[in-house]
Amino acid sequence: MTAGKGTSIKTVAIIGTGVIGAGWAARCLAWGLDVVASDPGKDAERKLRAAVANAWPALARLGLANGASMDRLRFVGSVAEAVRQADFVQESAPERIELKQKLHQEITRHAKPDALIASSSSGLLPTEIQDGTTNPGRILIGHPFNPVYLLPLVELVGGKQTAPETIERARAFYASIGMHPLHVRNEIEGYLSDRLQEAVWREILHLVNDGVATTRELDEAIAFGPGLRWAFWGTNLIFHLAGGDDGMRHMLHQFGPALKLPWTKLVAPELNDTLIDRMVEGTQEQAGNRTIKELERQRDDALIAVMQALKPFGIGAGRIAAEYETRMLGQRHAQRWTPGSKVPAPLELSSGYVKPDWIDYNGHMTEGAYVMAIGDASDALFRYIGIDEAYRAAGHAYYTVESHATYVKEVGAMEPLTYRTQILGFDDKRLHIHHAMHHGKTGELLFTVDQMLLHVDSKAAKAAPVLPGPKAALAAIWAAHRNLPAPHGVSRAIGVPAK
């Protein structure tokens, strides 16, 4: 699935390219969209391109869409030029209502009549932003969370003049670029998530102001406890479990009286010099000698690790990551065998790149990562012959029982990869395949592996004949491959006896 599928959005204009605007640009580029950006700030284009480049390794770890490229970013000198041909406009200017009103008035004068226009505002009312604009029904709030290119939540808030179809079109677009659009049904300052964050933030300021705790202690109080739970369930379902078998009702009966105790202070303290100094000193001590960019990359790695860890459970951000990966696989492995179709010899069904976390201390791809990468070629072969999620869900699959690998050449991070696959023999239960990994630009051979696979009935836990559909595909491939010369690195110890 590609970005914008189910929508007509192919080009996105980014107005304002600070931290949030740059995050939007990186996310859209990673999904294969064209991005046109504008910002009046000094050196804005260089800063934007640097921010996108800094985010790209994290996006590459998640998986890039077909056509994704930083080269699809164009920086222009005016709002009018940026929005003129855009299908979707994402404004991310500073949080000042007069500025946003002026910008949206200019955007709506020059944008296409059917272009959607969203503001990244974190608390302003969309009705006020719409004031004085042309065709205000297409304007809404699309409030993201930093880093925009990784966090999936985007709050959608309509103003009094926002058309219902604007919300639905925006929802479809944001979902198509891997986000979780949450419609805030009532127009309210601060929306939902920032109001929740604000309550915690006010309490943090009180605790620091009163000398109760340092910034580090308070961050640890969240990161090592409730923060891990918030990552996938939020608060309410967690508290429901706190009531035991009787759920939320018992929880409220047991713990409700504590709400009347003076535990928290929801009125913010005076932001005086002493409090500001404590906050600054505390966070600087936490950062140590690490730069902001270093901290951003470390944060990105940690976020991805959390999302990857949650994937097998299908909850929270792990569900989004799993769906993202499935969509990327389906996009990369789109080729399917059909009866009578010409079979390439050898097969070239997939391509990829060396992910940054596959690199060892020498700056090259690790030994195990070669095998992980070649698994992409196996998945492409299985999908080509009709072995997909439905086939496996029915209890049928090929299991690898023997492998012979040859490491030919080193390769570095983000280098492009292509795979060639050859069938060396098969029968009802066995499949002998050979994969060759090549450099995507030079064509150099990097790695080979030939493998014996056994078809199994996983429900019966024993070997079983491959089903007729995949068997017919394998027969067609074998007919095209059986007279090919033996590939590099093929093992004499692995094989299916020739008939």
* DSSP bridge partners of 351: 418
pLDDT on residue 1:
39
Provide, rounded to the nearest whole percent, the portion of the chain with pLDDT above 90. Answer: 70
Omega prior to 344 cis, within 30 of 0? no
pLDDT on residue 2:
57
159 and 125 Cβ atoms separated by less than 8 Å: yes
How far is residue 437's CA from residue 419's CA, in Å, rounded to a whole number? 5
pLDDT on residue 243:
78
SS3 157: strand
* DSSP bridge partners of 453: 400, 431
CB neighbour list of residue 479: distance below 8 Å, 6 or more residues apart: 343
What is the identity of the amino acid at 325?
E
Write out pLDDT tens, residues 97-154. 999 999 999 999 999 999 999 999 999 999 999 999 999 999 999 999 999 999 999 9
Give me 382's structure tokens: 């299985």
205 phi, psi to nearest 5 deg: -60, -40
Omega prior to 147 cis, within 30 of 0? yes
How far is residue 411's CA from residue 418's CA, in Å, rounded to a whole number? 13
Which residue ranges of the chain lie beneath pLDDT 70?
Answer: 1-6, 498-499
DSSP states along 322-335? HHHHHHHHHHHT--
* DSSP bridge partners of 152: none
SS3 397: strand
Q: How far is CA 49 from CA 3, 26, 490, in A?
A: 21, 9, 45
pLDDT on residue 229:
86
Q: How far is CA 329 from CA 24, 66, 286, 344, 373, in A?
A: 23, 11, 39, 21, 13
Describe the crossing of helices 215-223 and 273-287 by its angle, rounded to 10 degrees: 60
Among candidates 453, 326, 336, which has minimal Cα distance to 385?
Answer: 336
CB neighbour list of residue 442: distance below 8 Å, 6 or more residues apart: none
pLDDT on residue 323:
86
Which residue ranges make up each domain of the chain?
Answer: 11-188, 194-288, 333-481
How far is residue 373's CA from residue 371's CA, in Å, rounded to a whole number? 5
Tell me which architecture the domain covering 11-188 has in CATH: 3-Layer(aba) Sandwich (3.40)
CB neighbour list of residue 29: distance below 8 Å, 6 or more residues apart: 35, 52, 68, 69, 70, 72, 73
pLDDT on residue 246:
79
Among candidates 18, 19, 17, which has minimal Cα distance to 295?
Answer: 19
410 and 396 Cβ atoms separated by less than 8 Å: no
| Domain 333-481 class in CATH | alpha beta
How far is residue 155's CA from residue 138's CA, in Å, rounded to a whole number? 16
16 and 93 Cβ atoms separated by less than 8 Å: yes
Burial class of residue 251, CB neighbours in 10 A (0-12, 13-18, 19+): middle
Give me 485's structure tokens: 């010369």
Residue located via tokens 């944008």: 111
Tell me which architecture the domain covering 194-288 has in CATH: Orthogonal Bundle (1.10)
Burial class of residue 112, CB neighbours in 10 A (0-12, 13-18, 19+): middle
Give me 190's structure tokens: 């601060």
DSSP states along 254-319? HHGGGGGSS----SPPP--HHHHHHHHHHHHHHHTT--HHHHHHHHHHHHHHHHHHHGGGT-HHHH
Largest Cα–Cα separation, the chain: 86
Among candidates 413, 393, 487, 411, which has minimal Cα distance to 448?
Answer: 487
39 and 16 Cβ atoms separated by less than 8 Å: yes
446 phi, psi to nearest 5 deg: -110, -35
